[in-house]
Structure 1
Amino acid sequence: MKALYPGSFDPLTLGHLDLIERSARLFDGLVVAVLQNPSKNPTFPVERRLDQIRTATAHLPQVEVASFDGLTVAFAQTCGAGVILRGLRAMSDFEFELQIAHTNKSLAPDLETLFMATATAHSFLSSSVVKEVARFGGPVGHMVPQGVAQDLAAFFNRESPEQR
């Protein structure tokens, strides 16, 4: 069975990568899909986020990387996924994610949602926290893949970890 892991991934964190690696072992195929959300003002354009994910998942041959706009369930059906994967960091995530899962089920009854708890080591991570730390010059190498850390340093006009 193929699973879909949708999100904005702006930027990809080690928490996201942990869920990707763990779920890649559970499914025959995994599509990591960047949602093009016109109501958000992303740090990185979609193509850069796709490149970041492809680089970070290059060791996982069963992982495909794509982008989409519109309804997640429509994209899941287009790519042949039977499961939508969602990560949970805290109880507060669950309430929102459950509402989305029920909405998706009402739109596509054959599509399942699987919630996976983020590893404890990454439970504090969110893309917004990472960007805030990077904006003020804090180290993010323990929060994001190396290439993403370099991209954040360049975006915020800071030294990359390799330049220190």
Structure 2
Amino acid sequence: MRKAVYPGSFDPISNGHLDIIKRASKLFDEVHVVVSFNIAKGTSFTVEERIEMLKKATAGLTNIVITSWDGLVVSYCKNNGIKVIIRGMRNYSDYENEFSLFQYNKDIYPDVETILLMPTTKNQMVSSSAIKELVTFGCAIDKYVPKCLIEEITNKFKK
């Protein structure tokens, strides 16, 4: 069975994330979408809220496993027999970060590979940070998040 992990903070999940999940689900028999801990990021939604939003957004996909992990993603891979990490890459700064992570992951678990998926044009500049800012200042986010989550995300950031 070909398995991959797609980790992220998903705070909140965007259409860019969903696009990567859907595309990865066509490439692998099983995709673990892992709400992971990022020491450099604060979060607005609880882990449980993010897992529920992911479940709603991916309801039609049958080969997706949604869970959380508070350790290194590469450790999750080792523990679950996964040898592929899926990462989305929007721009050059994402590349620099992903290249560094790739090196550490290879040192820790030499069998793991990282596959970078580029966003589609309409999702190229979508970020969770921008979504939170747009909502905070009363802008519509319907182009950037799954329709089924607009109300939940909007309610979280209403002034």
Is this contact kept in 2: 1:11–1:148, CA < 8 A? no
Q: 1:137 offset after TM fit, Å?
A: 0.7
Query: Normalising to structure 2: TM-score of the pair?
Result: 0.95
Unpaired segments of 5 or more residues in structure 1?
A: 159-164
Is this contact kept in 2: 1:6–1:34, CA < 8 A? yes
Amino acid in structure 1 at the alignment position of 2:33? V
Unpaired segments of 5 or more residues in structure 2?
A: none
Superposition RMSD in Å: 1.3
Query: Normalising to structure 1: TM-score of the pair?
Result: 0.92
Q: 1:14 offset after TM fit, Å?
A: 0.1
Is this contact kept in 1: 2:135–2:158, CA < 8 A? no
Q: Percent identity?
A: 39
> Is 1:86 matched with 2:90?
no
Q: 1:79 offset after TM fit, Å?
A: 2.3
> Is 1:144 matched with 2:145?
yes
Provide the secondary structure at the position in 2 that maps to 1:130: helix
**Alpha-carbon distance in 2 for matches of 1:120, 1:69:** 32
State the match for 1:41 in structure 2: 42
**Alpha-carbon distance in 2 for matches of 1:35, 1:84:** 13
**Where in structure 2 are the equivalents of 1:63-74 lying within 5 Å?**
63-74=64-75
State the match for 2:98 in structure 1: 97
> Is 1:23 matched with 2:24?
yes
Q: 1:87 offset after TM fit, Å?
A: 0.3
Is this contact kept in 1: 2:10–2:50, CA < 8 A? yes
> Is 1:157 matched with 2:158?
yes
* Poorly superposed stretches of 4+, deviation over 6 Å: none
Is this contact kept in 1: 2:13–2:53, CA < 8 A? yes
How many residue pairs get aligned? The number is 158
Provide the secondary structure at the position in 1 that maps to 2:106: helix
**Alpha-carbon distance in 1 for matches of 2:131, 2:42:** 16
State the match for 1:50 in structure 2: 51
Amino acid in structure 1 at the alignment position of 2:5? L
